[in-house]
Structure 1
């Protein structure tokens, strides 16, 4: 089915902030190829980053009941969003998913709204729900980075771009209020500093508090100031980390809005973070990042940016009941990996500070994926 006349495209990426950021190259491919207006339907958890994504022209915020989000939608709101989508008269819709998600409930949303062309990966035959069906082979016969997965989806309808990088616009006007807030806490930006981001939405991806404290103390002993970042809801955690770490550490959770946070990450020499949206913000602004990477999804390592990945196993009692994820656990994540010690974090930070831009760091390493495919 020809998509060349599609000038008003709905892109549905109803997950978290990091997922939305990883889809940016696919949005760019749709704009570059079709010259289309791109409207994104995403969740309340991702809406804050939209203003930093140049490829997005408009948005709809709705928390779909089949996607894990902080808010719970009501039945009446579902009918309202269908009516809203229908009123915008989209030419086509693209549904972006990770391999463990079923796209068909989302496809029904677009179908009920009367969108004439609907594209998605699907493991089962969608019949009339999708006009453009790409059979989903992941993770059983192949496994690709999420960016590659999304780019190959839109390529199925002819959308391509030469620029595959993650990109976020950085509002440098924010730097002055950021520096004012930091210096007000006693942080000296003329001395070495870096970010430690401990907050994460799922318990299974958490790095232990005692290891955060040990890593922070080692970094401080080497002359760094440590900024514990997070959302307002994570302030209790960052306050605790500051208290346990002591002098040279600073809790700044909840002090910055999203634009200020993006600006801070852009200016940071290195960040250390659990696997969350902060990692993808860093990749999108070119900041080196050490990822404390719980083995939940091998697709989501930093994309085309200097990085070090320190993996660790998810405890059995916290592992997902999703059988697609269970397959990955049995085949790829089937060997126990201990939580990385603070000394490994320290070594990774020093590697990135001393050897930025090494070719081995610039591209994601995904088990079973050909690196040339990921960067072509």
Structure 2
């Protein structure tokens, strides 16, 4: 049986978006997929159907703050790749990233075939190089970009696979969330520029509760103070009480998720739950909005921060998200919960 390395060195959300490409490489189960991830992405890779093994390495050109480039650190990657015993690799990147630093290290570790997308001339580093252009546009969802790279390497989705996001082994979390319908509010974001103000999240929880909805507030161990504040007296605070797999279970049982552009939004899409996306345009929504599920996209997508990829808001007052009112979020939740298309969706359908 052949073993293929699939690399996605970024965050959990990026890894989840690569899931369909991973399934394409895995085929009908006749290939083993070793997924190479950064520390933040590894827990998501473990949830992807088709992944046989997950190996982790912190890339100095990806991780923030970056580890030092030392012979010892590069040797660690070499040993990981040699130990994985792979002869082929597919490097998945976003438009602003180069696959070439990793491709060089994979070549030195003996990988015979490498595919990736590169603006720059790749020489002998890539056997298959996709170059952005008409046949490979940059303005496309990240999931479709990854699938295109996998396809160029010779891997197609199995027959009957829809190409949507999926995860496996979703747990029953009734013990945590109780019974009955609920919405989830996830107020945290790893990148401050993508965070909606905490007081707006708290007000949203209060409004939803006043309307008769049960609300669950989620977050990581470092976000317990945030989730406690947002939940207040009206929400169920589960901050720090689950790992990523447990969060998948919570989201799978929810009617709607309210979240910024962060990993849980993509995890929600992977379990089929609609998302009210408070989306800062520092990155394009076309590429990174939740994929394949009903979405209400809120936030000024033409704000001055558009396309800056800023981690901290470069515009005083954070206008792209601060202008979104809790009442607007609640209205969006009601539309999704009742499967009523938004005004923009209705216009797009009418003009199609």
Contact 1:45/1:69 (<8 A) preserved: no
Aligned to 1:180: 175
Match of 2:140 among 141, 144, 158: 144
Aligned to 1:309: 297
Aligned to 1:297: 284
Match of 2:242 among 246, 252, 256: 256
SS of 2:146's equivalent in the other structure is: helix
Aligned to 2:166: 167
The 5-angstrom pairing of residues 220-235 of structure 1 reads 220-235=209-224
CA offset digits 1:56-75 (Å, max 9, x no partner): 00121111111034673662
Bigger share in helix: 1
Contact 1:204/1:315 (<8 A) preserved: no
Aligned to 1:353: 337
The 5-angstrom pairing of residues 268-287 of structure 1 reads 268-287=254-273
Summarize the Cα distance change of 1:19–1:80 in structure 2 as closer, same or farther, 3 Å threshold: same
> Is 2:325 the counterpart of 1:341?
yes
Q: Work out the CA distance in 2 between the residues paired with 1:337 and 1:260.
A: 28
Summarize the Cα distance change of 1:83–1:272 in structure 2 as closer, same or farther, 3 Å threshold: same
**Structure 1 residue 141: Cα displacement:** 5.8
More displaced 10-residue stretch of structure 1: 146-155 or 335-344 = 335-344
Aligned length: 332
Aligned to 2:230: 241
**Structure 1 residue 353: Cα displacement:** 0.8
Q: Work out the CA distance in 2 between the residues paired with 1:230 and 1:96.
A: 28
RMSD after superposition: 3.0
Q: Work out the CA distance in 1 between the residues paired with 2:329 and 2:224.
A: 23
Contact 2:259/2:265 (<8 A) preserved: yes
**Structure 1 residue 279: Cα displacement:** 0.9
Contact 1:15/1:43 (<8 A) preserved: yes
Q: Work out the CA distance in 2 between the residues paired with 1:80 and 1:141.
A: 35
Contact 2:278/2:321 (<8 A) preserved: no
| Structure 2: segments with no counterpart, 5+ residues | 312-318
Aligned to 1:128: 124
> Is 2:158 the counterpart of 1:195?
no
Summarize the Cα distance change of 1:142–1:78 in structure 2 as closer, same or farther, 3 Å threshold: closer
Summarize the Cα distance change of 1:357–1:111 in structure 2 as closer, same or farther, 3 Å threshold: farther
| Structure 1: segments with no counterpart, 5+ residues | 1-5, 184-188, 323-334, 366-370, 372-376
**Structure 1 residue 90: Cα displacement:** 1.4
**Structure 1 residue 312: Cα displacement:** 3.4
The 5-angstrom pairing of residues 38-49 of structure 1 reads 38-49=33-44
**Structure 1 residue 137: Cα displacement:** 3.6
Q: Work out the CA distance in 2 between the residues paired with 1:96 and 1:142.
A: 14
**Structure 1 residue 170: Cα displacement:** 3.4
Task: Provide the TM-score with structure 2 as the length reference.
Answer: 0.85
Aligned to 1:204: 193
Q: Work out the CA distance in 1 between the residues paired with 2:193 and 2:89.
A: 33
Match of 1:108 among 80, 89, 104: 104
The 5-angstrom pairing of residues 74-89 of structure 1 reads 75=70, 76-89=72-85
CA offset digits 1:110-137 (Å, max 9, x no partner): 1221211111100010111111111134
